[in-house]
Structure 1
């Protein structure tokens, strides 16, 4: 099939930027050092397309594939295992987790973007074969340059194939690439059940290097215009939970949000007379916005207090256990109030 490739900017600025990005990624993730999958509690299948280009993905009902970043070929399996552990703690366990390893070692700033595009095309072929062979659900997660890989996968998939969940983590890209007219827009709109882009303003590897003028650094700030993104796309701000470029995979708050999305957990219903269902503003699994108006205020405290004995609260303890004691009661009202 025909494979689309990401347009590569060749300006002197981008060359300088990407060289700086490579150095920053090495410092942030420790990439390039030997890794040991056995050190993690989850068993990880390593799929290295450099060594086995004709191999296929495992055929299981629920498949999670993780794509590493620039200079991260050796660190990728450990990162995949860390993410799998965090997701398992949050309630999501794939039947098999695959560390997708590709050539990301070139020091050339133009070639590395082409390598990511090629890797995305290769992963698209693997996804299509996996679906044809009976895999029911496929989730793709990519860190940094790997975020480009998983979005390029969507851009390359043939008509009729859909990836259930795609999650870039601190993606190295401009925000305009996911908005109307952007390179990845159509793939996100037509080839994904849901795309959740996790970004952190603390990501000082991505922040200085992408986004100019009206554009944004997608992995640090999200898309420049939420209204111009596909309906299947959501920016998830994890600034409060991710302190640097290498911390995405180990973030429990990020893991909780992603696990919830992948297990189709829609959260609690509206509480009391509220017109909207509660929301989880920071992705930690606790629905502090009780009234569903987009912010946590004293109105939420009063609403929770007035409805402690309602079925909507009593049957959804895990969402309102702000005191972390396994139940929902007055202590949770106090904990919610203290957090405002």
Structure 2
């Protein structure tokens, strides 16, 4: 994750590179992606929470839903940031361990995407992964209708988080879709931004956990900036900026910070 520092030099080139049609790729349907066993796994009684960290890996294409826990009461899907694919599972485990320490006992699962290449190509990959993840989640929620879904994206994983909401397009909703140290642009959650409708339509609640000590994040170094020429200063009613600066000293410290993680699970 420390290589996220290299991303600063690429921000201006990447801020405007998003293709809105890609963000709206999935509006009404979720593709059946059960490739192998998976649909039947959720048909029994609700399973107990597990400490196992399973991995939903999009680097080789769309994975089967059986790669995630089935029949759980609740699953928090943790999405890594730039250069974090090799430590996706261990990063999710760090969040899980901290969450356990502050009393959260639900299941945590790692989401891995192709973060290879320079920052701007990795950002494009993060945006593309949002549509894949949204389609996968549609099939997963069909197979696990009783499971509460939570998303947590770190750094460029915050881009995946937002793009996933946009691709869901209100066809279903996730309970929470949060970011820590998000590398998404600072006006993304605004009503005038690219994701205001997605936040409103595709999630129960969306939180931006930010630290002013974070020198790498964009949205994640402060509150959403809705002060542009075409902005009226508002964000959706189900969106909140949460200051965790007192608990987070830098870009890589969110998941291991009891204060930050306590704030996250306190909103679950």
Could you say which TM-score interval applies, normalised by the shorter chain?
Answer: 0.7 to 0.9
Equivalent in the alignment of 1:84: 96
CA distance in 2, matches of 1:13, 1:224: 16
Higher Cα Rg: structure 1 or 2?
1
Number of aligned positions between the proteins: 217
Quick check: 2:85–2:113 contact (8 Å CA) kept in 1? yes
CA change 1:99–1:13 in 2 (3 A) is closer
CA distance in 2, matches of 1:76, 1:222: 26
Give the alignment's TM-score, normalised by structure 1.
0.60
Give the alignment's TM-score, normalised by structure 2.
0.75
1:194 aligns with 2:192: no
Equivalent in the alignment of 1:55: 64
CA change 1:173–1:158 in 2 (3 A) is closer
CA change 1:242–1:137 in 2 (3 A) is same
Higher relative contact order by CA 8 Å / sep ≥ 6: 1 or 2? 2
Superposed CA RMSD = 2.2
**Counterparts of residues 1-340 of structure 1 (less than 5 Å):** 14-15=12-13, 42-51=51-60, 53-56=62-65, 57-59=68-70, 60-94=72-106, 96-107=107-118, 109-135=119-145, 136-206=147-217, 217-225=218-226, 227-262=233-268
Structure 2 unaligned regions, length at least 5:
1-8, 16-49, 228-232
Q: CA deviation at 1:192?
A: 0.6
Q: CA deviation at 1:16?
A: 9.5
**Partner SS state of residue 64, structure 1:** strand
Q: CA deviation at 1:184?
A: 1.1
CA distance in 1, matches of 2:206, 2:189: 10
- Could you list the structure 1 runs, at least 4 aligned residues long, displaced by more than 6 angstroms after superposition: none
